[in-house]
Structure 1
Amino acid sequence: MPRVVRARITPNSRKGPLVEILDDGSLQLYVRAAAVEGKANKAALLLLAEHYAVPKSAVRLSAGATSRFKRFEIDD
């Protein structure tokens, strides 16, 4: 069963790449990539794979492709 992670993405961030855990258990992802042509989504996938120490093929965007708020599934 995959782990479901809720995340808020901040593209074009000078602070990133960085993962912060928020009080409600969701994640705040800061990525340097722009939010055009899925570049920020791809950067978020790579950042989550690194954060959870899983291969990038184990991380999938399941909801929120065009939203700031996204849901990812991560296979353990």
Structure 2
Amino acid sequence: MILRVRAKPKSKVEWVKEVEEGIYEVAVKEPPEDGRANERIIELLAKHFGVSKSKVQLLRGSTSRLKVFEVIKD
């Protein structure tokens, strides 16, 4: 499954919500430095979809707020 994600780094509260079909907003406490926010987004998406972190992959947008992820569900 391909997801478009709007990242919100340095948030006070972490959450994942679907704003439209296939489009999610993910807020993380981590700053967007050294890929820390991306790693935390992967962890939150994995938890949200009930898969391991290795099943969530960042395809595009590593330095952008708009990202594309692939989630592999068995």
2:20 is paired with a residue of what secondary structure? coil
Any gaps of 5 or more consecutive residues in structure 1? none
Question: Where does residue 14 of structure 1 map in the other structure?
Answer: 12
1-side partners of 2:53 and 2:22: how far apart?
A: 22
TM-score normalised by L of structure 2: 0.94
Question: Where does residue 61 of structure 1 map in the other structure?
Answer: 58
Matched residues, number: 73
TM-score normalised by L of structure 1: 0.91
2-side partners of 1:75 and 1:24: how far apart?
A: 17
2-side partners of 1:26 and 1:15: how far apart?
A: 19
Any gaps of 5 or more consecutive residues in structure 2? none
Identity across matched positions, percent: 36
